[in-house]
Amino acid sequence: MKALQDPEDLFDVFPGPGEYTNMVTLRALHGYEFIAVLIRALGRVDRLICSTFNAGETVTEQLDRGLASGTIITADMVVNGIMARSREQAAPYLALRELARSWPGRFRLGTGRIHAKVIAAISGRDALVVLGSGNLATNENIETYVIMNSLDVALFHAKWIGDILHRCEKHG
């Protein structure tokens, strides 16, 4: 297992096809830092898939920038429904909801009883997946992650996240 001091350390340990790497953070990281590194590793992300309990405001800004520049073609995100009802999480959630309205067909947002933390970036036949304990927000906790290079795993997560998004779109 590698102790991760900085998301840039990921470039030293990116797994090859079908491989994985275990990591633990030793300092507070913002979850979007992982997405930025995945984008840089792949060059362009055809499909970004995220699941998180909550997300910080930086996520909205970075997603908007990625969608506008074309480095992210489409993005699907599910967050915990508590985020939509919580006073402290209301502003980041509303910003994400507005972003989804600004990018119809390119950014879909849904809510559910989400606790899973998944980031999957698919580019052609390449896919990098980050599974971990950390949300897409900065925190002071020690977090663990598994980073995989697997299109099958990415598509597995895309399926269940897509199912939640479909239910949200159908039932509002």
pLDDT score at 2: 59
Q: Is 136 helix (H, G, I), strand (E, B) or coil?
A: strand
Per-residue pLDDT of the chain (172 residues; tens, 9 = 90+): 556 666 666 666 678 888 888 888 766 566 677 788 888 888 899 999 999 887 877 888 889 999 999 999 999 999 988 877 777 778 888 899 999 999 999 999 999 888 888 999 999 988 999 898 877 776 677 788 888 999 999 999 999 999 999 999 888 6
Helix (H) or strand (E) holding 132: strand 126-132
What is the separation of C-alpha 23 from the centre of its chain, rounded to a whole number of angstroms? 17
Task: Report the alpha-carbon distance of residue 94 to residue 52 in Å, rounded.
Answer: 15
CATH number, domain 2-8+15-171 = 3.30.870.10
Cβ-contact 79, 89 below 8 angstroms: no
Give me the pLDDT at residue 5, please: 63
**CA-wise closest residue to 110 among 36, 169, 31, 35:** 169
d(CA 118, CA 91): 22
Alpha helices in 43-150 (DSSP H): 57-69, 81-85, 87-102
Q: How far is CA 29 from the centre of its chain?
A: 14
Give the CA count within 13 Å in the CB-facing half-sphere of 121. Answer: 21
Q: Which two tokens stand for residue 168?
A: 């949200």
For the chain, the structural domain boundaries read 2-8+15-171
